[in-house]
Amino acid sequence: MAMVEGVDARGAEHCETTALGVLLRHEGLDLSEPMLFGLGSGLSFVYWDSKRMTFPFVGGRVKPFELTRNLATRLGLTLRVEETASARRAWQNVVAAIDAGRPVGLQLDCHHLEYFTTKVHFGGHIVAMYGYDDRLAYLVDTAQQGGAVSTSLTSLAAARAERGPMTARNRSFTITAPEPPVVSRDTILAAVKACADAFLAPPIANLGRRGIETAAERVRTWPARTDRPHEELPQAALLMEKGGTGGALFRNLYRDFLGECAELVDDGGLRAGQALYAEAATLWTEVAALIARAGETGETACLDQAAALLHDLARLETKAMRTLSACGA
């Protein structure tokens, strides 16, 4: 058995910030989950659909691993990333880090992890790994999934090797802090402005403020996409609200991030943005509830109401991000 000593295996709400918290606390940097999410400019929106997909995907954040790259750049951290098509090499990359006394982050498809009770393919899931023996890998996942958990080495290899939307080729990564990072006023404002500007000016109609409008226009079509709307719609709503894919979770995190920032930086725009995202989070919870009800009851009027709220959210979040983009000016 090999274990990294001194790992604080706290599970948080979101997978990527949970893993980042484990890796950074091991480097002596203990930031709250909202601060990790916000400094990584993690908030966004994506409406993703293709002929290969049986049901649309909605996401409330930037694409997997972009948050990690943003955070490392902003805090001056050394991020080492390994990717390979070789299962043998992929395992060697992980073992080398753990044997050297360093926890390692892994991007994988959670469908294969044995402790997951809901079997849904999602190739952008991220965990921290801190130990292994001849049968099991010892991981840290979200609090919802159990925090400190384990899965068989076979299941871990399958999860890492899965191909499909949002997957990576056996991606593993480590983080080191050459010097103690400082969360300064400039760091905070740069993160807030970068997130706002990307949200306001997305390159395609599936992202950012335009993505929410796209979801508003298409949510009424969801029952026709499946012969199991009574299952698919409540599942989508559950993922939105509990998994945070396109519901309130990330809006709550960003609200709390802005609240922490307002205590460190005297800027009225941060406080205004916090209030607007508190309102947005409540509306996202309502949207998820309406989608679930539409699936459970077959009432199409629920999707009409959800579409109207999504249009409201697009306007509300656009207002919030315009306010935040001007912070520090």
The residues, ordered by sequence, that sit 6+ positions from 130 with a Cβ below 8 Å of its Cβ are 3, 4, 7, 9, 22, 98, 103, 104, 138, 139, 140
Q: Assess whether 189 and 89 both reside in one domain.
A: no
Do the Cβ atoms of 306 and 299 come closer than 8 Å? no
How confident is the model at residue 242, as a pLDDT?
A: 82
Last residue in a domain, options 159, 176, 193: 176
Number of domains in the chain: 2
Largest Cα–Cα separation, the chain: 58
Q: Which two tokens stand for residue 192?
A: 């807030």
The boundaries of the domain holding residue 296 are: 185-326
Eight-class DSSP state of 207: B
78: amino acid identity, one letter? T
Q: Assess whether 124 and 9 both reside in one domain.
A: yes
- Residue 329, pLDDT above cutoff 80: no
Q: Assess whether 100 and 189 both reside in one domain.
A: no
Mean pLDDT of the 188-212 span: 97
pLDDT in tens, 82-106: 999 999 999 999 999 999 999 999 9
pTM to 2 decimals? 0.95
Q: How confident is the model at residue 165 (pLDDT cuts 50, 70, 90)?
A: confident
Q: Assess whether 245 and 315 both reside in one domain.
A: yes
Whether 42 is in a domain gets the answer: no
Count CB neighbours of 166 within 10 A.
Answer: 17
Grouping H, G, I as helix, E, B as strand and the rest as coil, residue 309 is helix
pLDDT in tens, 171-194: 999 999 988 888 999 999 999 999
Q: Assess whether 171 and 190 both reside in one domain.
A: no
Do the Cβ atoms of 129 and 138 come closer than 8 Å? yes
Mean pLDDT of the 134-159 span: 97
Q: Assess whether 145 and 6 both reside in one domain.
A: yes
Nearest to 281 by CA among 247, 321, 304: 247
Q: How confident is the model at residue 301 (pLDDT cuts 50, 70, 90)?
A: very high
Whether 55 is in a domain gets the answer: no
